[in-house]
Structure 1
């Protein structure tokens, strides 16, 4: 990596002061890693829980005598000027603190997230967006507002979609043709051949009717062998049936894929994604084009994979992958014969990053924004797709819609549509709001089924995004036609 050369040669400042909103698992890791990260200072941590905000500094080993509470931006500025670190339960003050250059938004609450992001942009601060629930709903508009204000709006390294966006941009920059790309789910399916069991390795709680481990019949074990040439579709379909009782991807997985699709232009093959359980060696076999034995009708397809592996094998580590080829025959020969993993006819090769370090590696995005004034996304961020929700059970009028971890709804990725009665609702414009009518199980939730909250900045920015982008896309489509 050449980050240190870039920082030393082109930085517009010596250090970057970050205000971090949200002290959950991800946000806390940003804080705890900062003392060991050159040029980075997390000078403010805000959370609605003062214990969580202060606790992030405690976990980071900060000298707690130098950590002080502030209720106002003015008080926080004084503390920082005197060499202290600030914690607060007033996230709304972070964007108003003069010493803060980058606001890292990781509250996880879309309505709050957009409010803090807009406030920071209006105050001339860069914004690093961790809250994917906000990014998927209004990220393109926030990026445009930031550009108009002369500041940066960026996804972050450490989050899978942020890493996939950069991986894709790198592949295109060296002339690779991308056939598919995606992220690994955090859980991995560990196949013990001797016992005939498959167990999910995950740190997430497992909810009924899902189970942590299944036994595979002797008859079905053949479908867990290496996918033979030309049989990808059949093997993937049978595996999905056999492994269906193990935990499957959640709406949060599809949310990250949607953000990455909006940044890169990669397209999902189906609205719920194929999500194949695959060995690393099988990814180029299954996730290439159908003409070469794969599952996809076209290149630039985006999807999920859960790593299927033996207990003694390494996995994908929640990382990201691309299936690529070189369009020059000699280049492709080098690509497929120098240690990379190709498919059977060597028309596709998987390259992968078997890790994502969450908040530990987010510093690169924060430093790029604060030192160089650039983001770690791509230039063409548009609302190509929406994450929409389907009722998983009957939902009664007056019930409050949950977030992406709530089992009351499942997710689909659909072409983006504006806020209007009858249109499928953007998933995170539902979060925390109430159903206006009874919604039977299996129903795609539309805007006329939700009570729009009064004074919602999230809905306001979404409508602004609809006018700015969807009208542009409609006009372009007419010209192209």
Structure 2
């Protein structure tokens, strides 16, 4: 039986995610690229050639006329999302990372009756509720991309809930580990290295996990471990699950994988969690010869039948010392390698593939790191899409400051007035927010 091929358009095609998706779909039956969009057209073509595309498989199209006239069966490479409407595809994979451009591309896709796989978490945290509503109104699918942490964690959380486990905490590891060599006392995080005293003490734990976490936090205090991307991903998870942060900056404990059930126990049982149902991020601490958590995801649950969990602990599963909690985890996120699954699923099932019961539960906002003067532009950049001068915070929507601006609505805007150090950036502080994004944010409040 011949099964239909799912054809997709990809924005941000030359980015790291785009390459992993294109590399994988060269190997994936029934998933094919139709249109690749990136400002760097020549660079996109060069990347595709490196991935094994023949020159005659690619057609650079800089206008609607060129797009319409391209040879049948070729993959169009375009510089402008406005050209996507003329492509022959069923699904848009949005991966620009640009809040405004990504939102426009997604709206245009939905208006042309195409499903959307949303990879740009920056777009999702501002306009996700609005886009999900638009898709639902048209019977289309709007889904996260499998292989990235939000989709992986939402699926993992859903599985644990479906089998009746009580979830205490969910989260992921930061993108990069703390790697400690006990032989040298050198601790590395990306390109930064420091020396630590008594490395074996940091690698082991005391009877009280809180004492261990405090000692580690002090030892690595000079290393910056939090990133806007982490909070952005947890915002997506929060809105999809209803779980919310315990603290607005997240806990970021330095922990080893085998300790997670103890770390994310309730405070009354020695852990760091003040209440059940939180999202968080931890930093992996490991030896050089130990496997990484690889930006993977975890769910910490309460145990029930002691014999069941003693049996599982005996098989090497992560169970707390007191037996009350267990950590279930996936130690990987494969980016675009798994995203073809989302493309196939949404092309086949449409709206039925979309996560159920999503809503707005958090605001990914920002506080001024230092006093910000009126007239300053809040630039966004870097690998983690940080906003210059603004510390990201994840706020429960019920307790967020009135008028708090979502971080990626504030990005690239100019301040209309001064913002004091430590104060939240509010929508009224922004002189020139993108009108469509602002409307989408406000519309999403009632979704």
With normalisation by structure 1, the TM-score equals 0.87
1:154 shift after superposition? 0.5
Shift in Å, 1:91: 1.3
Q: How many residues matched?
A: 442
Distance 1:25 1:270 in 2: 31
Give, in angstroms, the shift of residue 289 of structure 1: 1.6
**1:367 alignment partner, SS class:** helix
Deviations 1:255-291 (A, max 9, x none): 1011111111222111100001100011111111223
Distance 1:184 1:435, change over 3 A: same
Please state how far the C-alpha of 1:194 moved relative to its aligned partner: 2.1
Is 1:122 aligned to residue 111 of structure 2?
yes
Aligned counterpart for 1:414 among listed residues 387, 395, 402: 395
Kept after mapping to 1: 8 A contact 2:141/2:354? no
Aligned CA distance change for structure 1 residues 373 and 32 (closer, same or farther; 3 Å) = same
Matching of residue 165 in structure 1 with residue 154 in structure 2: yes
- Measured against aligned partners, the alpha-carbon deviations of 1:304-341 in whole angstroms (never above 9, x if no partner) come to 01110111111201111111234344443444333212
Match of 1:321 among 298, 309, 312: 298
**Residue of structure 1 aligned with 2:202, choices 219, 224, 229:** 224
Whether contact under 8 Å (1:157, 1:376) holds in the other structure is no
Partner of 2:80: 90
Moved more, 147-156 or 337-346: 337-346
The RMSD of aligned alpha carbons is 2.2
Query: Structure 2: which 5+ runs fail to align?
Result: none
Looking at structure 1, the residues matched to 278 and 94 of structure 2 have their Cα atoms a distance apart, in angstroms, of 29
User: Are 1:405 and 2:386 counterparts?
Assistant: yes
In the TM superposition, residue 410 of structure 1 has moved relative to its aligned partner by: 1.0
The alignment's TM-score, normalised by the length of structure 2, stands at 0.93
Q: 1:435 aligns with which of 415, 428, 441?
A: 415
Q: Deviations over 1:121-158 (max 9, x none)?
A: 11100001111001011112211110111110011112
Work out whether residues 399 and 434 of structure 1, in 8 Å CA contact, stay in contact via their aligned partners in 2.
yes
The 8 Å contact of residues 272 and 411 in structure 1, kept in 2 or not, is answered as yes
* CA pair 56-182 structure 1, distance change in 2 beyond 3 A: same
Give the Cα separation in 2 of the matches to 1:426 and 1:295: 27
Match of 2:277 in 1: 300
Helix, strand or coil: the match of 1:146? helix
Query: Hey, what's the Cα distance between the residues in 1 that align with 2:259 and 2:40?
Result: 45
Q: Deviations over 1:406-436 (max 9, x none)?
A: 442111111237999x521111110111011
Once the two structures are overlaid, the 10-residue window that deviates more, 437-446 or 108-117, is: 437-446
| CA distance in 1: counterparts of 2:347 and 2:59, whole angstroms | 24
Query: Superposition pairs for residues 95-110 of structure 1, below 5 Å?
Result: 95-97=85-87, 99-110=88-99
Judge conservation of contact 2:12–2:18 (CA < 8 Å) in 1.
yes
**1:39 is matched with which residue?**
30
Which of 144, 147, 152 aligns to 2:141? It is 152
